[in-house]
Structure 1
Amino acid sequence: VQFIMMKLNKNETVIMNNYGKRYLYSGKVEKKDPLWVYESKHLIESLKKYDKGPNAPDIMAISLYDKKTEEVAAFEELVGSHGGIGGPQSFPFILYPNKFEGPKEDIVGAENVYTVLKGWLKMYSVKG
């Protein structure tokens, strides 16, 4: 387990591991930030969004991420895993024709990918 994320109350959630704690909303860090290993500039934003979601658990465990090998550990007995944090999976891409106008900013979240794709359908008069 890389870290656990646990709701303290309706206004604060703590992210912690053996080395330290980070309070998700206040940003306060005690000892070493448990998120130091991750390079995603959208991680905090994504964790807050997930934490506020209708199906967010009171306690969530995130599996190990090895920065050196860029590997994640699956909790289940699978060859790989998806939907986690860390490694190359944190830097997705969309391959599209160069005649399409690309987004000006990072696309964060599935709903924003949908918006971009629907925009291309409309812009290039594709029924969909």
Structure 2
Amino acid sequence: MKRFSFSLLLSALFLGPALTSARAQGTDSTQAMAKEPRSAEARAQALTDRMAKKLALSGDQTNKVQAINLEQAQKLAALQGKYAGNRRQGVQEMKAVNQAWDRELQAVLTPEQFTNYQNLREEKKEARREKSPQRRKSER
């Protein structure tokens, strides 16, 4: 269940900027997403940019993280396509991809950066949990 939540977190990291920019432009975010879904490359680049800024990555680290993020974004996109009808079937494969992602990032980041990365990820997860009951109430 933890890794499924991590998958959702990663999705939020990828989709967050798209939703924010669509709102800033005054368009409905669902319309913006429906018109042109972001490619794995664009999602990986956006995630790398955020990580470089938040974790103070060096140039070499940024290049390595970009390659890792691109590879993992492509794998997740393929799995999302494969299990579009029933995402629950792909949970184990997505967990494995996310675990590999963490191991690769841990090899590139310093211990302090990796700890900060994990903390940021947990903060996003907690923020989603706090919003979740509010969304459910507003949908009723």
The reply to whether TM is greater than 0.5 is no
Higher helix share: 2
TM-score where L is the length of structure 1:
0.27
Rg comparison, structure with higher value? 1
Higher strand share: 1
Q: Which has the higher contact order (CA 8 A, sep 6+)?
A: 2
